Amino acid sequence: MALPHDGMSTDDVLAQLDAFKEHDVRWREGAAFTLAYSAGPEVEAVAQDAYRRFSSENALNTDAFPSLKRIQNDVVGIVGDWLEAGPDGAGFLTSGGTESLLLAVKGARERGRRERGITAPNVVLPTSAHAAFEKGCYYFGVESRRVAVRDDWRADVAAMEAAIDDQTVLVVGSAPQYPQGVIDPITDIAALAAARDINCHVDACMGGVTLTYLRRLGHDIPDWNFRVPGVTSISVDLHKYGYTAKGASVIMHRNKQLRAYQTFVTDNWLGGVYGSSGVLGTKSGGPWAAAWAVMHHLGDAGYLRLTASARRSCEQLATAVDEMPALALRAWPEATLVAFGAAEPAEGVAALDVYAVADALWRRGWYVDRQGPPASLHCTVNAVHEGRIDAFVSDLRSAVDEVQTAGTAGAQGAYGTVD
Ligand SMILES: *Cc1c(COP(=O)(O)O)cnc(C)c1O
């Protein structure tokens, strides 16, 4: 495909882009239970206006852009307050949860190498920990030691302990883990790290904002943040329950010494000293400005309100799924994630194919995650779903009926795609 010789008008290019979106999932209307989050059109407008002002500012070098230094300090400072990091806490903004987790792996590998001379590092993590850890291990030459979870889907700490050896540089827990939405026993996992003076990363990409505010709303949440001795770093995605534009996550370390292991500096080329805090080089100031703007626009009161709303919708959906005889809730949600599969079928009856249910939901306009093993559907419930759960549950019932009647099969699909 060649670029047309004559340029198009602004109106034409924008109309064309809007037309491309015709078949996209209608997430602003609450039709997506994954991938997109919305606190409504006004919050989105704040994010977009802020993003536009900083879209071509370059966060690679905050000396040239003191504005971005200020923005990063403020955003990381607020997240540090949420995480009870204390005055020594030190973090960076990253492009998303994946980059935050890559840096957690890289930082742990580097610390092991420099402090203990480790040459064949491994990470001990539950099978429920996010796929991005796998990517980090692959990128940075670290062995991934996956340990089966318990029957309640939480990390099996005794089995994790058995998998640790003298080359282990990192143990991982999630708050909550993505697949079934439950919180790992962070205190026990962090104790494994503290006893050996190795890193413990808590993946709160999904739950960092939600668990902070749920606790303030009076929910009983087990300890998961820097109050837990032994936790060395935590990731929190702002482009999820921070309700800001895509491209914003924070990785927070307990102190600057630990943070130093994630950064990279070289002068081994002809271009002088080159340092970078994360994976990217040039990076847009847009996501940073949008995060600052949305956080300050919502304020504490906004996050309390949005968290309460998301939790209400989540409980409504979990209750409805629990009452459907054809479906089995994987776990009662501890944050705002609902995962379910097919119930044990009666004797002589074929099991319900939940991926076919996902197909039938998509024909009705709803997009949910498909995951496994075991074959499950997964709903990330957020503030956009307020007032939408009844309609979804009604379509879920009809989708289940349709699949049961027709006996159709579906395909697993993918959480992320490569083509
Ligand atoms: C979303 C998520 C990630 C990955 O974050 P991206 O922003 O998609 O790169 C990692 N861990 C958990 C628990 C997540 O929910």
State the CATH number of the domain containing residue 210: 3.40.640.10
Please give the distance, rounded to the nearest whole angstrom, from the Cα atom of residue 398 to the centre of ligand 1: 31
So what's the pLDDT on residue 154?
98
| E strand intervals along 96-139 | 122-126
The reply to whether 12 falls in a domain is no
Q: What is the pLDDT of residue 413?
A: 79
- Please tell me the pTM assigned to this model: 0.97
Exposure string of 394-419, with b = 16+ CB inside 10 Å and e = fewer, is: ebbeebbebbbeeeeebeeeeeeeee
Q: Name the domain count of the chain.
A: 2
What is the largest distance, in Å, between two alpha-carbon atoms of the chain? 72
Residue 257 tokens, joined: 């010494």
Has residue 282 been placed in a domain? yes
Identify the residue whose tokens are 């009809």: 398
395 shares a domain with 332: yes
Q: Is 244 in the pocket of ligand 1 (CB under 6 A)?
A: no
Angle between helices 286-322 and 389-406 in degrees, nearest 10: 60
pLDDT, position 417: 78
Which ligand 1 atom minimizes the distance to the CA of 98?
9
The Cα 294–Cα 277 span in angstroms is 23
User: Is 3 inside a domain boundary?
Assistant: no
pLDDT of residue 350: 79
Q: Is the peptide bond before 41 cis (omega within 30 degrees of 0)?
A: no
**What local confidence, expressed as pLDDT, does residue 4 receive?**
93
> Do 224 and 288 share a structural domain?
yes
Distance 204 CA to ligand 1 centre (A): 9
Give domain status of residue 89, yes or no: yes
- Cis-peptide into 373, omega within 30 deg: yes
Is residue 252 in contact with ligand 1, taking CB distance under 6 Å? no
Per the listing, tokens 């300890």 go with 223
Asked if residue 413 is part of any domain, the answer here is no
H/E stretch holding 93: strand 90-94
Residues 273 and 312 in one domain: no
Q: Whose CA is nearest to atom 15 of ligand 1?
A: 206
Are 167 and 262 contained in the same domain? Answer: yes
Identify whether residues 270 and 306 lie together within a single domain.
no
Q: Which atom, in ligand 1's list, is nearest to the CA of 174?
A: 13
Q: Could you tell me the CATH number of the domain that includes residue 362?
A: 3.90.1150.10
Give pLDDT, residue 311: 98
User: What atom in ligand 1 is closest to the CA of residue 96?
Assistant: 7
Is 206 a pocket residue for ligand 1 (Cβ < 6 Å)?
yes
220, 305: one domain: no
3-state secondary structure of 94: strand
- Judged by DSSP in three states, 120 sits in coil
Residues 87 and 206 in one domain: yes
The enclosing H or E element of 85 equals none
Among candidate residues 260, 278, 297, the one where a domain is terminated? 297
Measuring CA to CA, how many Å separate 73 from each of 88, 120, 143, 338?
Answer: 13, 35, 34, 34
| Same domain (yes/no): 246, 340 | no
Q: Residue 89 in contact with residue 80, Cβ under 8 Å? A: yes
Residue 412 lies in a domain: no
Q: Is residue 18 domain-resident?
A: no
For residues 172 and 191, membership in a common domain is answered with: yes
Asked if residues 279 and 103 have their Cβ atoms less than 8 Å apart, the reply is yes
Q: How far is the CA of 130 from the centre of ligand 1 (A)?
A: 7
| Residue 176: cis peptide before it, omega within 30 degrees of 0 | yes
334/356 same-domain check: yes
So what's the pLDDT on residue 406? 87
* Among candidate residues 250, 276, 297, the one where a domain is terminated: 297
Residues of the chain with pLDDT under 70: none
Last residue of a domain, which of 276, 297, 318? 297
Gap from CA of 35 to ligand 1 centroid (Å)? 10
- The predicted pLDDT at position 412 comes to 79
74 falls within a domain: yes
Alpha carbon distance 372, 267 (integer Å): 45
Q: How far is CA 202 from the centre of its chain?
A: 12
> What domain range includes position 198?
46-297
Please indicate whether residue 238, judged by its CB atom, sits closer than 6 Å to ligand 1.
no
Q: Are residues 270 and 129 part of one domain?
A: yes
Please name the residue whose Cα sits nearest to atom 3 of ligand 1.
97
The residue to mutate among 178, 234, 280, having the most atoms of ligand 1 within 8 angstroms of its beta carbon, is 178
Q: Chain-centre distance of CA 187, in angstroms?
A: 21
- Ligand 1 center to 30 CA (angstroms): 20
What 3-state class would DSSP assign to 193?
A: helix
Shared domain for 385 and 262, answered yes or no, is: no
